[in-house]
Amino acid sequence: MPSGILLLDKPRGLSSNAALQRVKHAFGAAKAGHVGSLDPLATGMLPICLDEATKIAGEIVAGAKRYEFTIALGARTSTGDVEGAVVETAPVPSLDRADVETMLAARVGVQQQVPPMYSALKRDGRPLYELARQGLEVERPARAITIHALTLEALRGDAIDLAVECSKGTYVRTLAEDLARALGTAGHVSRLHRAWVAPFEGEAMHTLEAVQAACREGVPPALLPIERAMPGRPALVLSVAAVARVRQGQAIGRADLPASAAGLPAATAVCIVDGSGGLVGLGEIDGFGGLRPRRIFRS
């Protein structure tokens, strides 16, 4: 069965789960999961973890992301994007590029953001978007997010094109509404593209059509190896005996670890590797300099 990560260029008009199911079916995978949802209107990078790679989805979801988007100015919608009904209109003032860039620069850094009602966050087990579709609104606590970079790509009268690099949990639709408000008008997202998800900056993406065609022809796209999702994590090469113990979930004492483990502080996350370079699992250095397995992959 295939195990690894596919970087899908999700097409517009398809939900993340629908895209996931089509990729899973094309590969004939037993298990699959996507990392970070994209709205149906959004396009761009959707990492899909197949089979054993599903065990490290949480390692990827915490990473930074880059979005390229357009704010249509003059109207705010119920959903924050073009799929919602217009709930507010406002005149669009004449915008000066230098003033817009100054405003954007002031919004870089750590800040609080209230998640939108049209989101997959849950209240009493129900997604907020289900409540929103019933016309209900509930209080949502603000959450800390980080805007690493926010740049103006184009200024087009009644629309502006932007790019943002941000932390996990950032809602671009809410950001767009806040930016439009700061410009003295209302706005909503009319285009949204996720350029990358860390640590896959610069990696090529596969279209859904190309994936399905390649799988039908028996030559599926090569998957990224699991360890590609964890660049910079120390790799500890264990002996055959130690690997056998790890596969049984047993901890490994400091004396049975390679010299490369010396000096690693407690709680350091590591990759566990066998003598042939195969990834055995993920682990963590304990308070005594030993190794505790956390996730084990099938051989």
Give catalytic residue positions: 39
- Pick the closest to residue 3 from 278, 293, 283, 291 (CA basis): 278
- Pick the closest to residue 192 from 216, 167, 175, 204 (CA basis): 175
Q: Which two tokens stand for residue 260?
A: 């490369």
The C-alpha R_g of the chain, in whole angstroms, comes to 23
Please tell me whether residue 258 adopts helix, strand or coil conformation.
Answer: coil
Q: H or E segment at 104?
A: helix 97-105
In contact, 69 and 193? CB cutoff 8 Å: yes
Q: Which two tokens stand for residue 95?
A: 């915008």
Nearest 5°: the CA angle 83, 85, 90 is 115
Q: Rounded distance, CA 162 to CA 192, Å? A: 10
Please tell me whether residue 196 adopts helix, strand or coil conformation.
Answer: strand
Q: Rounded distance, CA 202 to CA 57, Å? A: 19
Q: Rounded distance, CA 177 to CA 154, Å? A: 17
Q: Rounded distance, CA 69 to CA 179, Å? A: 12
In the 8-state DSSP scheme, what is residue 99? H
Dihedral pair phi/psi, residue 174, rounded to 5°? -70, -40
